[in-house]
Amino acid sequence: MTGKSSRKTSPARSVVDVEYGTPSRSIADVEQGIPKTSDSGPANNEQVFLLNSIQQAIPPKDFFVEIRGILDVEHLLDNAIVILDATETEIDVIIRRVVDEINPKRDTILYSDVEPKIFSYSDFSDLRVPSIRHKLQGVFVKPDNVVVDQSWLTIYCSIDGLFHRHIGFVRMNLPTNFGAGLGDVQFILLVIAPMVEKGTKTAFETARTFSTLLCDPALRQRLLDVHDSANFIQEINITVDRMAFQLPTQLEKKIEKVVHKKERWWPCKGIYNDFKRRWKCYGSDFTDGFSDARAIQKTISSAVFLYFAILPTAIALGMLNDSNTHGLITVKKEILAQWIGGLFFGIFGGQLFLIMLSTAPISIYIEVIHQICENGGYDFFKMFTTTGLWCSAFLIIFAVFQFSAIMKYAKR
């Protein structure tokens, strides 16, 4: 352990074929590794199988947006297994060692149950070539090839009968070659999760969370320098705290672009920008409520709630307006006004569940207008309509000239 501080993360990487994920070799090189037989068939005592391999590039976890990632790290690191300076040269032996160290008080896990979930060849006891079913590695995509970071590896699987998720970190004593695409591995992470789990707590999402951390070369270098498991876990927590407050690169570029960009203002620009931003979401405002059974259930429950929240209030204020205006505005007219206003606002605004509700201050305002009309001998409906048009004119002026921008100065 005395020479640990001088170790550096291995820069070794391999260029892999984009489609098949195998090291790039010529056809001649491949043919040299195939045994020659007289009938071009399998050699004696040789079994032929087909290897199914699917690779997919996925984005790393964004800790600034996805709070679930931070919660996973804080919760799972408390019971994480940390093995430092492992000397094993076979990856199945390392997996067995991690499984054996899982606390039996939390879950009882047998390696015989884990092996077929991790290795493709585990069904053939005489075959000692482990091929990992599910793994995550760092990948750097370039225009002409894909560069894989082979210094670390995350293996994940799901098992029936578990009650908790388990993670185990293994730091190799020296960079170890575990086969094609796994050269110079320094860190191995094993994630085991229950088979039935929420979408945000699956083995894949958990592996994606911790793999995002292992993508940081600075963290890997600090993990190489620690001397015990407590400092190992502490370095991971420090990195998570830093990433939680670090803006995504794309968001930083957008903010910088907006801050330094000087746009020319013109009337109705705010209305145009709002319409342009909301137009692509207009259709989904209506269809999202019927996208699945859960959405339909929420739509029905929200509609029933709004019905019983708006209707009694409309009846009560309608009776008050009926009394204050001597029957000019009745309960029926109050309900009709609520219906017309909500219908038009829902269709043109795309906000079907916005509460369009009359309030007590409006009823008082109606009473004041009615008293002015009685004292001055004016027609109430003409005066009330003129008042509404006058207010609408001011709202149009505010929208055209984007007066909402001055609200930032309305503070103490």
Contact 132, 155 (CB under 8 A): yes
Residue 44 confidence (pLDDT) above 80: no
Mean pLDDT across the chain? 81
Contact 65, 248 (CB under 8 A): yes
End-to-end CA distance of the chain, in Å? 60
pTM of the model: 0.52
Whose tokens are 């730091």? That residue is 171
DSSP 144: S
Q: How many CB atoms lie within 10 A of CB 188?
A: 26
Residue 369 confidence (pLDDT) above 90: yes
Q: To the nearest whole percent, how much of the chain has pLDDT over 70?
A: 81
Residue 282 confidence (pLDDT) above 90: no
| Band of pLDDT at residue 27, cut at 50, 70 and 90 | very low
Residue 14 confidence (pLDDT) above 50: no
- Please report, for the chain, the start and end positions of each structural domain, with discontinuous segments joined by +: 4-244, 269-409
| Band of pLDDT at residue 255, cut at 50, 70 and 90 | low
127 alpha carbon, distance to own chain's centre: 40
59 alpha carbon, distance to own chain's centre: 10
| pLDDT tens-digit series, residues 102-128 | 877 788 888 888 888 888 764 555 555
| pLDDT tens-digit series, residues 303-313 | 899 888 888 99
How far apart, in whole angstroms, are the C-alpha atoms of residue 87 and residue 100? 16
> In terms of residues, how long is the chain?
412
Residue 243 confidence (pLDDT) above 70: yes
Angle at 9 between CA 6 and CA 10, to 5 degrees: 115
pLDDT at 45: 65
> Tell me, what amino acid is at 346?
G
Task: Answer with the residue of higher pLDDT: 41 or 217.
Answer: 217
pLDDT at 163: 86
Enter the CATH code of domain 4-244: 3.40.930.10
Mean pLDDT of the 384-402 span:
92
How far apart, in whole angstroms, are the C-alpha atoms of residue 31 and residue 194? 43
